């Protein structure tokens, strides 16, 4: 069964969402991300995806105190990303309670550094962030395209032992128009050993069911919950009855 991973995106310590990664579209949903995380836990979710949007924009971890508060208050297994560009950022994330760290931009711009981290900490502690627009990788909060194609990018690191991949179709993100299921199926055909986490576009429970039927291992979703398109109750009931 597909793993359900709710998301909390953070700016200024608040729970927010963007559309297609555009900071001008910021909408604040809750002043207290810890309360949001508690609600996820109450409905039986075990995992949480946290994005430090301030960190992604500033190119260093910013909202680590919020990560630490959520981790200590909920015991959820957390993957954390956004602004992890240095050894210091990495240690801050792990020491603040992250079970996994999502690395995207640095894996593109500083591959030697990322390979060093994989060897030092183990590939199982990392999620490779592959943010895609028109088949090309975008970096630094989706503000830059570096021209690297998705498949060669993934191939390079899967050969180095990476198994966890978070793939976001930027054109779908925050649009509530359905996920890029065909893209994820294509990636799994290419990399059947990959633990692929789908991200972007989930608008309703039917979207999650379609991803589940397509044998996608995991899905991250956020805006559909915050906009009331999916209730945590119906998600929990569906997961329990699978």
Task: Say which residues have a Cβ less than 8 Å from residue 109's Cβ, sequence separation at least 6.
Answer: 139, 146
Give the DSSP letter string of 182-239. Answer: HHHHHHHHH-TT-EEEEES---SHHHHHHHHHTT-SEEEE-HHHHTTSS-HHHHHHHH
Contact status, residue 223 vs residue 204, Cβ threshold 8 Å: no
Taking CB atoms within 8 Å and a gap of at least 24, the contacts of 78-81 are 78/47, 78/48, 78/49, 78/50, 79/5, 79/47, 79/48, 79/49, 79/50, 79/127, 79/166, 80/50, 80/51, 80/52, 81/49, 81/50, 81/51, 81/52, 81/56, 81/127, 81/129, 81/166
Is residue 158's pLDDT more than 90?
A: yes
Q: What is the pLDDT of residues 165-204, one digit of tens each?
A: 999 988 776 667 899 999 999 999 999 999 999 999 999 9
Name the nearest CA neighbour of 10 among 32, 41, 40, 38: 32
Is residue 143's pLDDT more than 60?
A: no
With cut-offs at 50, 70 and 90, classify the pLDDT of residue 144. low
Q: What is the CATH number of the domain that holds 179?
A: 3.20.20.70
Q: What is the mean pLDDT of the chain?
A: 93
Q: How many domains does the chain have?
A: 1
Report the distance separating Cα 207 and Cα 14, nearest Å: 27
Looking at residues 225-234, what average pLDDT do you find? 95
DSSP tag of 141: T
Task: Please count the other Cβ atoms lying within 10 Å of the Cβ belonging to residue 112.
Answer: 6
Domain span including residue 156 = 3-241
Taking CB atoms within 8 Å and a gap of at least 24, the contacts of 205-213 are 205/230, 205/234, 205/235, 205/238, 207/178, 207/179, 208/2, 208/4, 208/235, 208/238, 209/238, 210/179, 210/181, 211/2, 211/179, 211/181, 211/184, 212/1, 212/2, 212/242
Active site residues: 9, 131
Is residue 125 packed enough to be buried (19+ CB in 10 Å), middle (13-18) or exposed (0-12)?
middle
Name the nearest CA neighbour of 217 among 184, 171, 241: 184
Looking at residues 146-170, what average pLDDT do you find? 92
With cut-offs at 50, 70 and 90, classify the pLDDT of residue 241. confident
């Amino acid at each position: 069964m597909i793993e359900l991973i709710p998301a909390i995106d953070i700016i200024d310590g608040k729970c927010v969402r963007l559309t297609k990664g555009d900071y001008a579209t910021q909408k604040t949903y809750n002043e207290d991300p810890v309360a949001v995380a508690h609600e996820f836990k109450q409905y039986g979710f075990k995992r949480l995806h946290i994005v430090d949007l301030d960190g992604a924009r500033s190119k260093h971890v910013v909202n680590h105190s919020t990560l630490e508060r959520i981790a200590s208050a909920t015991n959820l297994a957390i993957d954390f990303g956004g602004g992890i560009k240095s050894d210091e950022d990495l240690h801050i994330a792990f020491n603040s309670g992250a079970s996994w760290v999502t690395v995207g931009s640095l894996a593109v711009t500083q591959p030697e550094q990322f390979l060093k981290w994989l060897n030092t900490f183990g590939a199982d502690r990392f999620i490779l962030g592959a943010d895609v627009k028109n088949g090309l990788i975008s970096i630094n909060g989706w503000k830059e395209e570096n021209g690297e194609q998705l498949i060669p990018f993934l191939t390079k690191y899967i050969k180095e032992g990476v198994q966890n991949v978070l793939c976001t179709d930027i054109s779908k993100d925050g649009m509530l128009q359905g996920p890029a299921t065909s893209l994820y199926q294509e990636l799994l055909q290419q990399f059947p050993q990959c633990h692929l986490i789908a991200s972007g576009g989930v608008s309703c429970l039917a979207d999650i069911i379609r991803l589940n039927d397509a044998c996608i291992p995991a899905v991250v979703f956020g805006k559909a919950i915050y906009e009331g398109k999916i209730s945590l109750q119906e998600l929990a009931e569906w997961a329990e009855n699978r």
